[in-house]
Amino acid sequence: MAAERAYRYGRFDDGPDPLAPPFDLSEALDGIADDVMAGYAPEQALREYLRRGGRGRAGLDDLAGRVHRRRQDLLRRHSLGGTLDEVRKLLDRAVLQERGQLARDVGLDDTDRTFRELQLNDLPDSTAAAVTSLANYDWQSADARATFEHIRDLLGREQLDARFAGMKRALESATDDDRTAITEMLRDLGELLDKHSRGDDTDDDFARFMAEHGDQFPERPQSIDELIDTLAKRSAAAARMLRSMTPEQRDELLTLSAQAFGSPELMAQLDRIDAALQSLRPGLDWSGAESFEGDEGLGMGDGTGVLEDLADLDRLAEQLAQASDGSPLSTIDVERLGAQLGGDAAVSARELAAIERALQRSGHLRVGADGDLRLSPAAVRRLGRSLLRAAADRLSQRTGRRDTRLAGSAGEQTGATRTWQFGDVEPWDVGASITNAIVRQAGDVSSAPSPILGPRLGAAGRVRLTVDDIEVRETEARSRAAVALLVDTSFSMAAEGRWVPMKRTALALHHLIETRFRGDDLQLVSFGLYAQRLGIDALTSMAPRHEQGTNLHHGLLLASRFFRAHPGQQPVLLIVTDGEPTAQLLPGGEPWFSYPPDPSTLASTVRELDRVARFGADVTFFRLGDDPGLESFLAAMANRVGGTVVSPDPDDLGAAVVGEFLRARSRRGDTDEH
């Protein structure tokens, strides 16, 4: 019979909770996309998301704020006079005990009693000087002698605790043998550090030292360098603690240090070790100081620990700042962050780092040829799908019903099938898809035929579909369109809050054409001081431009070239603008700006619109804002070419553009049928 096992259940504390729900990557993508649309570069957008965090997750800014508040709390709460205060209390107790003994001791010579009382009455006000003056005093009270010896013991333990964390408590009831062991450890440590400074030490030297004194180093260093790192960090903090004291406190403590364990030998050994550590680790902060403002006194050991905490907090603040500026979040010391701020801070930092890695590994963010981080095509498609859905919802609210053309492709089924591609919405051909899967699995070398079942179709004889097996039923479009979307990128678009709606509109229309009207061609053209053709990724990541000029003339020129390159396709021209033309392209190719609009600029723009009209383009102007001059100009332009002017609110721009595009195709489709 197998022996019964004993199981113990408790809180899981070895890293992140394995049963915690996974973080929501879509939330991060949505937040990043919003910032990209607002004009941030993708790298900036990622950093902004990491700075502000997500639902139930602290961001880098919050963590940095908590680090700062923790640091301020330590400085406001503590002072560094704890050891001096404790020594003063012990000194006063020893003197009081001695006075009582002198008053009770009837056998004491009067002259001797008077002399002793004078010694006690004439003690200096300085605690250090008083302790020094009583160093050779012949105590009559055994209790007073023990109390005074406790001062020396306290000073020795505090000096050791300032260099070796935990020594004060470990030596609280120390015997002479314990003190001898400490003395030997200090001597051996000094010799080991000296040999290491000369380059004469070996691994065996370190091993022998740890074999003899390792129980006094709970950190369990695995090499001489780890030992030096631990000791130097503590020693540097002790040096900063002394410099953080007031000059009076520092002088008192340095004077008292000679009384540590009743002998100056301890301080001589510690000074030797401090000097060796500083020469081995000169890059640490050995000369800094802090300004403590509180009333909670700290002894030397505890004060050194607080100075270590402050140094840790400074390193964490630097790491968080570097992460905000672009360094990988993996550089943050998560364990130390948790020790200083609590486990929830460590969890948030781990999740932020995991999100950063997942976004890059998932392909939604990628590094471009220039080294900058960019939204990948997959991320652009995802964002376009979301924006198109939002535009469709707003369109249905405006028209009172959802336009069914958003739900599928135009045209009738041809009877032919083709392999599914991302974005296809045509119905699956189930028979062809299953046949593909059967043929693939039957030809798989790993699916050898079974003498009983025949061709093996996977586990339990099931047919397993993959993406490559799927086929969809082809449709034949009634007409193909060449769509030119011209978007105003002048300064006023950004200044009046129309930049993001413009970009959202372009992305929604792009996604509609890419997924629902795959035979159509779309050209995006931006026009500010000059016009340029843009890919959707470039427009998505474009930051607001602070340039004057609305060069619709140049934009129409590029639209004409686009229509000329796509003969036989239905030309659709969509123009989004919030200002009259104030720039034109000169014959030499240079832009020319004039405000108020110059008559020659308006005339050049009208002539280029007439050329576009000769292609038979369906023209729609989307007027943003209430400028009377723009309203009059666009009305005249639309009337000239039989076009339309739509005046949507910025938030309704996407639905308006999508709706007009669908109506333009519908009008041409009806014409083709007749």
Report which of residues 578 and 407 the model is more confident about: 578
Supply φ then ψ for residue 428, to 5 degrees.
-70, 145
Mean pLDDT taken over the chain: 82
Give the tens place of pLDDT for each residue, 336-348. 999 999 999 998 8
pLDDT at 7: 53
Examine the pLDDT at 199 and tell me if it is beyond 60.
Answer: yes
Examine the pLDDT at 310 and tell me if it is beyond 80.
Answer: yes
Examine the pLDDT at 599 and tell me if it is beyond 50.
Answer: yes
pLDDT at 450: 46
Examine the pLDDT at 603 and tell me if it is beyond 80.
Answer: yes
CA distance 32 to 435: 42
Contact 41, 541 (CB under 8 A): yes
* Residue 561, both tokens: 């070239």
Give the tens place of pLDDT for each residue, 478-505. 468 888 989 988 888 877 787 778 887 8
User: What's CA 134's distance to the chain center, in Å?
Assistant: 59
pLDDT at 426: 67
Examine the pLDDT at 249 and tell me if it is beyond 60.
Answer: yes
The residue to which tokens 């010799």 are assigned: 191
The residue to which tokens 């189930």 are assigned: 430
- DSSP letter string, 308-369: HHHHHHHHHHHHHHHHHHT--GGGS-HHHHHHHH-HHHHHHHHHHHHHHHHHHHTTSEEE-T
Q: HSE on the CB side for 543, CA within 13 Å?
A: 8
Kindly state the average pLDDT of the residues 215-223. Answer: 89
pLDDT at 674: 40
CATH 3.10.690.10, domain 481-673, yes or no: no
Confidence of residue 368 (pLDDT cuts 50, 70, 90): low
Contact 482, 569 (CB under 8 A): yes
pLDDT at 672: 47
Contact 651, 501 (CB under 8 A): yes
CA distance 24 to 305: 39
pLDDT at 380: 67
Kindly state the average pLDDT of the residues 155-176. Answer: 86
Kindly state the average pLDDT of the residues 610-639. Answer: 89
Confidence of residue 387 (pLDDT cuts 50, 70, 90): low
Confidence of residue 451 (pLDDT cuts 50, 70, 90): very low
Confidence of residue 453 (pLDDT cuts 50, 70, 90): very low
Range with the poorest average pLDDT among 4-18, 23-37, 78-92, 607-621: 4-18
CA distance 102 to 530: 102
Ranges 11-25, 198-212, 623-637, most confident? 198-212
pLDDT at 178: 83
Confidence of residue 374 (pLDDT cuts 50, 70, 90): low
pLDDT at 651: 77
Examine the pLDDT at 29 and tell me if it is beyond 90.
Answer: no
pLDDT at 410: 43
Range with the poorest average pLDDT among 4-13, 177-186, 598-607: 4-13
Confidence of residue 421 (pLDDT cuts 50, 70, 90): low
pLDDT at 384: 64
Give the tens place of pLDDT for each residue, 498-521. 777 888 788 888 878 877 777 888
pLDDT at 454: 45
Q: HSE on the CB side for 328, CA within 13 Å?
A: 7
Confidence of residue 456 (pLDDT cuts 50, 70, 90): very low
Kindly state the average pLDDT of the residues 393-400. Answer: 54
Confidence of residue 402 (pLDDT cuts 50, 70, 90): very low
Q: Where in the chain is the domain with CATH 3.40.50.410?
A: 481-673
pLDDT at 137: 93
Examine the pLDDT at 125 and tell me if it is beyond 80.
Answer: yes
Contact 260, 152 (CB under 8 A): yes
Using alpha carbons, select from 261, 268, 235 the residue that is nearest to residue 174. 261
* Residue 652, both tokens: 């309704």
Confidence of residue 110 (pLDDT cuts 50, 70, 90): confident
Contact 576, 488 (CB under 8 A): yes
pLDDT at 64: 93
pLDDT at 476: 52
Contact 463, 457 (CB under 8 A): yes
Examine the pLDDT at 370 and tell me if it is beyond 70.
Answer: no
Confidence of residue 42 (pLDDT cuts 50, 70, 90): confident
Confidence of residue 240 (pLDDT cuts 50, 70, 90): very high
Contact 580, 629 (CB under 8 A): yes
Give the tens place of pLDDT for each residue, 515-563. 777 788 889 999 999 999 988 877 776 777 777 888 999 999 999 999 9
Kindly state the average pLDDT of the residues 637-657. Answer: 85
Q: Kindly list the distances between the CA atom of residue 310 and the CA atoms of 144, 241, 303, 313, 316, in Å, as whole numbers in the listed order.
A: 39, 11, 11, 5, 10
Q: Kindly list the distances between the CA atom of residue 446 and the CA atoms of 274, 451, 457, 469, in Å, as whole numbers in the listed order.
A: 69, 15, 10, 18
Kindly state the average pLDDT of the residues 399-415. Answer: 42
What's 565's DSSP letter?
T
pLDDT at 395: 57
Confidence of residue 23 (pLDDT cuts 50, 70, 90): low
pLDDT at 460: 53
pLDDT at 491: 85
Examine the pLDDT at 425 and tell me if it is beyond 60.
Answer: no
CA distance 439 to 429: 16
CA distance 74 to 345: 18
Contact 233, 336 (CB under 8 A): no
Contact 133, 124 (CB under 8 A): yes
Q: Pairing relation of β-strands 365-367 and 373-375?
A: antiparallel
Confidence of residue 2 (pLDDT cuts 50, 70, 90): very low
pLDDT at 394: 63
CA distance 554 to 559: 9
Contact 585, 620 (CB under 8 A): no
Confidence of residue 667 (pLDDT cuts 50, 70, 90): low
pLDDT at 673: 43
Contact 307, 286 (CB under 8 A): no
Q: Pairing relation of β-strands 570-577 and 481-488?
A: parallel
